Amino acid sequence: MKWSKLIFTDLDGSMIGYDGRIDGISVALETLYRLRVKVIPVTTKTLAEVSHLWSNIAPYDQLIAITEMGGAICAPRGYIVTDNPLRLEEFECKALGLPIREFEDRLERILRDCDYIRLSKASPSEAKQIVLLPEPTAILATRRYFLEVLWSKDRRCILEREEDLRKEGLNIVVGDRFIHVGSHHGKIKAILELLKNPIIVGLESIGIGDSIMDQEMLEITDKAIVIPNIDGSTKVKPRRGDYIIAPYPAPQGWVWASKLITLNLV
């Protein structure tokens, strides 16, 4: 299919409600698909999580996704232009960072005195407790390749060692509930890399996000839509004057944004 435009979208808090609701999303995605608008998830989630989600809400669509906060670009076979693509979860992926197995010794050495749980090593019951999802879904969050997610009751110990981690080539992103550690450089590098793909070059792009981790994405796409919190406030303010703030939180805000896009009002 030849696409007419692209949507780069965060998932949690942008497309998916903070309570896990996805009301109206399947219909919105099908409408966009029929209009040849390609929706590309850009997320901290694993490929296993995104693939499972997409099979339920858009089973007709061939998933292209930026996973693990820019750790990899994954797509059906033949979509990605790269030498020796990785085969992960029945997809071909271009890695943009080191595999966890290549930096986990450094991570554990630096944090040896801290009390934390690595999500990639979590048991099913630990994963359920950490990600606050049913166990079968939580297990998918443990299938990580590039971005380690740390959960701790006392973040201070980890944050005090941030500079030591950076000296070892590891980057830290502090989220609302988790600390993310990887060797890659976030969502932005992955988006810029994907935009070089011959099947995408020249298409108008729209970014949809809700958090500070989406800011760079919302600044480099041609258009930007911010999804607010439940109370109507926003966590991110892109450094541009033309972004739109949806009137509703996720998922209603994402559905509203999709209607704007289908009507060419963005």
Enumerate the active-site residues.
10
The three-state secondary structure class of 250 is coil
Mutual angle of helices 25-34 and 47-57, in 10-degree steps: 80
State the number of CA atoms in the 13 A half-sphere of 122 facing the CB.
26
Name residue 213's amino acid. M
SS3 assignment for 138-178? HHHHCCCCCCEEEECCCCHHHHCCHHHHHHCCCEEEECCCC
CB atoms within 10 A of CB 137: 16
Q: Is the dihedral of CA 244, 250, 252, 258 positive or negative?
A: positive
Phi, psi of 40 (to 5 degrees): -120, 110
The answer to whether the beta carbons of residues 41 and 7 sit under 8 Å apart is no
Chain centroid offset of residue 224 CA:
16
The answer to whether the beta carbons of residues 146 and 68 sit under 8 Å apart is yes
Q: Is the dihedral of CA 147, 164, 150, 113 positive or negative?
A: positive
